[in-house]
Structure 1
């Protein structure tokens, strides 16, 4: 969404490398595509225990790292003969790996592009991510555009009166560089195209610290997971759309995106299919929710 809060409770067979490319959208496959109908993700009960074995290689988005790692740890604890290796390389790289046969499952925190939708490629939405724009309750504005967000966060707009608010300097609050929520927010508002994050932004770690900073300053603006909007901060509509789970799931809310697993249908072994089923089970969806995502059910 989105951003994550805590780690998992059990140890498993996952190994991670969370280096994210500077720009995920620049490493795309040149495959000529024929669109394939995608799977509809539905939450299921946890699959029954089976005699599963083998190794699954997952590469792709770093934004999905925390819920995915929790799923991997639990699944491999339940199936000790299974090893799952996850490397965070970025969504585009994960998709390219899947198309090239270099992984078993690709993880993506964006929708597939038309040229990436080839025959035999399947996708499963296992979570949704939504990011709320938070301001102080005393701030009179109720709606903001993604274009103005980019201008605020790049320093082109510096006073609230420029977007219909009070005559006061805007205090920009952002997340630490390693934050998946920051990466998603900046990508969705196209901050890089606007010049990148303004140098004097207040940078804090975690959703809670963003919430606290905005709650304590009438002129601050920040971004948090939906669950951190309460009476202490006010969530703004974005492009006229309210930030709700329903609007995030439908894609209508601009600061939302799907979390996807993609795989080639002819490579889906019983072990791979069992892990995909686990991700959509009640237990797997619990890890999504625990780490700040939105369940698919």
Structure 2
């Protein structure tokens, strides 16, 4: 069965279950992280063709997405960082926070002839500006340029948490915005911006989601806690997600997983919606999230380099959709 036909059949079933008419004219607005933007636009297009709600999705950083929710400017948002308790408290209508997919975070580089393998200590030294020449990594001599996010980013938050877990010598702390050493570093906006900056500069290396692999970029093999050198993949990322424990708000991380075969830097991507005050859009929002959590469409996420949710996470995520109320 084609992807489009799956969408029609699945949304028709979800429409019956949730009370959304197949000819619904509901229109929803969403803003969120750029990582899954292509995937979500594909989903929303198929959903609309199946007679479901129209969803307008605009890419942004996670910080902007969460701020839009606080300002009540959207129906739901997508973030690659969970909301902090102090920000959750700002949303009077309450928040449901639902994992929707996962993503590895890779060291992408542009250095021809170099088959890069990074120990965890080397990864920390590269990201903190202490390695400035490729010869220090066993490659042909040449200046190394570190490329990092210029915007506030959940990817930066997850990346720096792993750097801190890798080594007690990590000097820059953790967070969605970091004061990076300026000596051999350049900044770029968004995941795609970092990917383009690396692709356009020989000798560059930085952190991106594999969903934005392009041009001459390659991914380093990164040492995990078990001592294995792994490149990011759906399989190695799924092993990390399988061991991730979620808290009451379905937030969770595993910055340096111990399981064999687990890639060491992985983040969840969350949908954030209002717990109450959704009015006439309540059923449309529920149907949209049910659509995104269905097995048929979770099976599509790896096409864009993202990781489908483990069964344990899905079993906790799906019931939360029912908490979304008028």
Matching residue within 123, 127, 132 for 2:97: 123
CA positional deviation for 1:169: 3.4
Partner in structure 2 of residue 99 of structure 1 = 70
CA positional deviation for 1:185: 5.7
State how 1:10-89 maps to structure 2 within 5 Å: 46-47=10-11, 48=13, 50=15, 51=21, 52-79=24-51, 82-89=53-60
Number of aligned pairs?
238
**What is the Cα-based RMSD across aligned positions, in Å?**
4.4
Partner in structure 1 of residue 223 of structure 2 = 237
Structure 1 unpaired stretches of 5+ = 1-8, 11-44
Query: Does 1 or 2 have the higher relative contact order (CA < 8 Å, sep 6+)?
Result: 1
Matching residue within 80, 104, 114 for 2:85: 114
| Partner deviation per Cα, 1:28-78 (whole Å, 9 max, x = no partner) | xxxxxxxxxxxxxxxxx9451531331111123223311111111111111
Matching residue within 271, 281, 286 for 1:261: 271
Equivalent-residue separation in structure 1 for 2:139 and 2:59 (angstroms): 42
Shift of the 87–70 alpha-carbon distance from structure 1 to 2, 3 Å rule, reads same
Shift of the 115–145 alpha-carbon distance from structure 1 to 2, 3 Å rule, reads farther
Partner in structure 1 of residue 133 of structure 2 = 159
Shift of the 138–184 alpha-carbon distance from structure 1 to 2, 3 Å rule, reads same
Shift of the 127–161 alpha-carbon distance from structure 1 to 2, 3 Å rule, reads same
Shift of the 195–172 alpha-carbon distance from structure 1 to 2, 3 Å rule, reads closer
2:125 is equivalent to residue 148 of structure 1: yes
Partner in structure 1 of residue 179 of structure 2 = 193
Shift of the 261–140 alpha-carbon distance from structure 1 to 2, 3 Å rule, reads closer
Partner in structure 2 of residue 275 of structure 1 = 288
Partner in structure 1 of residue 166 of structure 2 = none
* Contact 1:137-1:233 within 8 A present in 2 as well: no
SS at structure 2 position matched to 1:269 = helix
Report the structure, 1 or 2, having the larger helix content: 2
Equivalent-residue separation in structure 2 for 1:194 and 1:288 (angstroms): 32
TM-score w.r.t. structure 2 length?
0.56
Structure 2 unpaired stretches of 5+ = 16-20, 161-173, 245-252, 256-263, 311-326
Shift of the 83–192 alpha-carbon distance from structure 1 to 2, 3 Å rule, reads same
Equivalent-residue separation in structure 2 for 1:289 and 1:96 (angstroms): 29
SS at structure 2 position matched to 1:193 = coil
CA positional deviation for 1:99: 2.7
Equivalent-residue separation in structure 2 for 1:166 and 1:157 (angstroms): 12
* Contact 2:33-2:62 within 8 A present in 1 as well: yes
Partner in structure 1 of residue 142 of structure 2 = 169
CA positional deviation for 1:109: 1.5
Equivalent-residue separation in structure 2 for 1:226 and 1:63 (angstroms): 9
Shift of the 168–64 alpha-carbon distance from structure 1 to 2, 3 Å rule, reads same
Shift of the 288–173 alpha-carbon distance from structure 1 to 2, 3 Å rule, reads farther
CA positional deviation for 1:282: 2.4
